[in-house]
Copies of this chain bind each other. A is one copy, B any other.
Amino acid sequence: MPSNDKLFAYNLGLIVPLSEATLHISDLSVQRGYGVFDFVKVQQGFPLFLDDYLDRFFQSAQLMHLSMPLTREEIKQVIDELIARNQLPEAGLKMILTGGYSEDGFTPMNPNLLITQLPLTLPSEEKVAKGIPIMTHDYVREMPEVKTINYSMGIRLLHEQKANGTEEVLYVKNGLVSEFPRCNFFMVTHDNTIVTPANNILRGITRKNVLSLAGRRYKAEVRDIRLEEILQAKECFLTSTTKRILPIVRVDGVLVGTGKPGEVSLQLLQDLMELEDSQIAALRE
Q: Judging by beta carbons under 8 Å apart, are B34 and A30 in contact?
A: no
The contact of A142 among B108, B152, B155, by CB within 8 Å, is B152
A38 at the interface (CB under 8 A from B): no
Q: Judging by beta carbons under 8 Å apart, are B29 and A29 in contact?
A: yes
Copies per assembly: 2
A95-143 interface with B by 8 A CB criterion: 96, 98-99, 101, 103, 105-108, 114, 116, 118, 139, 142-143
A150 at the interface (CB under 8 A from B): yes
A11 at the interface (CB under 8 A from B): yes
Which one of A19-27, A41-49, A209-217 contacts B? A19-27
- Please list 16 pairs of residues, one from A and one from B, whose beta carbons are closer than 8 Å in the complex, sorted by A's number: A1-B26, A1-B101, A9-B25, A21-B25, A23-B25, A32-B151, A32-B152, A33-B34, A33-B148, A33-B152, A94-B105, A106-B155, A106-B182, A139-B142, A143-B153, A150-B152
List residues of chain A with CB under 8 Å of any chain B CB. Answer: 1-2, 9, 11, 19, 21-35, 63-65, 94, 96, 98-99, 101, 103, 105-108, 114, 116, 118, 139, 142-143, 148-156, 158-159, 182
